[in-house]
Amino acid sequence: MKQINITTTFSVFDSKEELTADLLDLMNQAIEIRKKAYAPYSKFRVGCAIALDNGKIVLGSNQENAAYPSGLCAERVAIFQAGAIYPDSKILKMAISATSDEKPVLAPIPPCGGCRQSISEYEFKQETPIEIYFMGESGEVYKSDSLKNLLPFMFDKNYL
């Protein structure tokens, strides 16, 4: 037996105010759209803002449903909308922010497993990495240069 060691690297900003002006704007849009989340069950609100190479910004917030599998996370709402409206555009950056109606969310909240797989599909399709910035409601912002940092063993069409 042998072991494989995988190392990932993230940049950490002490607060969103350390971001460049364009990234701060993107994160602020994620924060604003999370306020429109439909989260009556989890009370956990997530917003996502995606910057495309055509200059457009696409937004998404989580949308829950009493039949839990029928809901959709903010990241997938935004990424599927980007794919539907701008199918030939590349995703450059994603900003994600999460909060809770029940308690403070101060730690950066990364995409869930399902969202990671969906982001993976688009990163593979466009053949360029997607920068992912994520935070809680305040505090540190983590930056990943590619989804591969969050999902090093990505499943893609090459396995089919």
Binding site as annotated, residues for Zn(2+): 73, 112, 115
Is the Cα dihedral 5, 10, 51, 113 positive or negative?
positive
Active site residue 75: yes
**Identified catalytic residue from 75, 102, 123, 137:** 75
Closest residue by Cα to residue 73 from 41, 105, 47, 97: 47
- Burial environment of residue 21 by CB neighbours within 10 A (0 to 12, 13 to 18, 19 or more): exposed
Measure CA 56 to chain center. Answer: 16
What distance in Å separates the CA atoms of residue 115 and residue 53, rounded to the nearest whole number? 21
Centre a 10 Å sphere on the Cβ of residue 49 and count the other Cβ atoms it contains: 26
